[in-house]
Homo-oligomer: A and B are copies of this chain.
C-alpha cells in the first residue's frame, strides 16, 4: 500500500534536472552512513550542514524521488534511501559488458561499490588476444568479436567503454550491434550511436579543465595581488 497506489515515482514526465541527479548519490551515501550509525530520521538542514549545500535545494531534490517528510521531524532515512534507489533504478540489477580490459577497465571491474547501484559487470572484452581468455576480478575476458552475439544471448543492455580514444567508435559499434540501451563512455572521444541509445561520457579532460582553470586563475590573482612583480 505504498508503491501500488498512483504515482510512487512522479512518472518523471518532465525530465529531472541533471544537477539534481548528480546530487542524489551524495545524499544516498551520507544517508547510508547515518543509518549505519544508528539514526532513523534526518532533516534537510542536517544534510545541508554535512554536505555544505542549501537545505532548500536538498528539499527540492528529494521531492523528485516522491518522498514526503514531516515538519519539525524530517524524513525517515530508510524510506529516503529506498526512494532514491528506486528513482535512480538502483533497486534492480543491471548487467553490463565492459569493453577494454586495460588498467582502467580492471579498475572498474575491481570497484566493488557498483553492485550497490545495481550495476554488475558480467564480462569484459578486448581486441588484444593476449588479454583474452583470462579472468579478471572474477570476470572472463573475451575477444571483442564475441561481444554482439553474446550480448544478445545474455540480454545484456548496458555497456562500458574503457578503450583508448581511437578505438571508442568501434567499441560503440559492437555494443550497438549487440542491442545496447545505454553506454558509459570513459574514452575521451565522442561516439556516434543511434538516437535511442543513451550515452554518458566520463571525459576526464572536461573535469581536469575545471580544476586547472581554477588553479590558473587563482595563481594569476595571487600573483597580481601579493606577487613579486607588480
Bound-complex Cα distance A181 to B103 (A): 28
With known contacts A103-B107, A205-B29, A218-B198, A211–B188 Cβ distance under 8 A: no
Bound-complex Cα distance A106 to B216 (A): 26
Encode contact with B along A86-113: 1 for CB under 8 Å, 0 otherwise.
Answer: 0111100010000000111011001101
Q: Chain B residues near A113: list those with CB within 8 A.
A: 165, 188, 205
Q: Chain B residues near A51: list those with CB within 8 A.
A: 190
- Shortest C-beta distance, A12 to chain B (Å), equals 5
Bound-complex Cα distance A184 to B207 (A): 9
Q: Chain B residues near A189: list those with CB within 8 A.
A: 29
Any chain B CB within 8 A of the CB of A158?
A: yes
Any chain B CB within 8 A of the CB of A76?
A: no
- Shortest C-beta distance, A21 to chain B (Å), equals 5
Bound-complex Cα distance A104 to B186 (A): 13
Complex contact B26–A206 (CB within 8 A): yes
Q: Chain B residues near A220: list those with CB within 8 A.
A: 9, 12
Any chain B CB within 8 A of the CB of A118?
A: yes
Any chain B CB within 8 A of the CB of A154?
A: no
Complex contact B210–A18 (CB within 8 A): yes
Q: Which residues of A contact B (CB under 8 A)?
A: 9, 12, 15-16, 18, 21-26, 28-29, 51, 87-90, 94, 102-104, 106-107, 110-111, 113-114, 117-119, 158, 165, 181-182, 184, 188-190, 198, 200, 202-220
Q: What would be 29 A-B contacts, judged by CB atoms less than 8 Å apart?
A: A15-B217, A21-B209, A22-B210, A25-B203, A25-B206, A25-B209, A29-B188, A87-B213, A88-B209, A88-B213, A89-B213, A89-B216, A90-B212, A94-B212, A103-B107, A114-B208, A117-B205, A117-B208, A117-B212, A118-B212, A119-B208, A181-B215, A182-B214, A182-B215, A198-B214, A200-B208, A200-B210, A200-B211, A200-B214
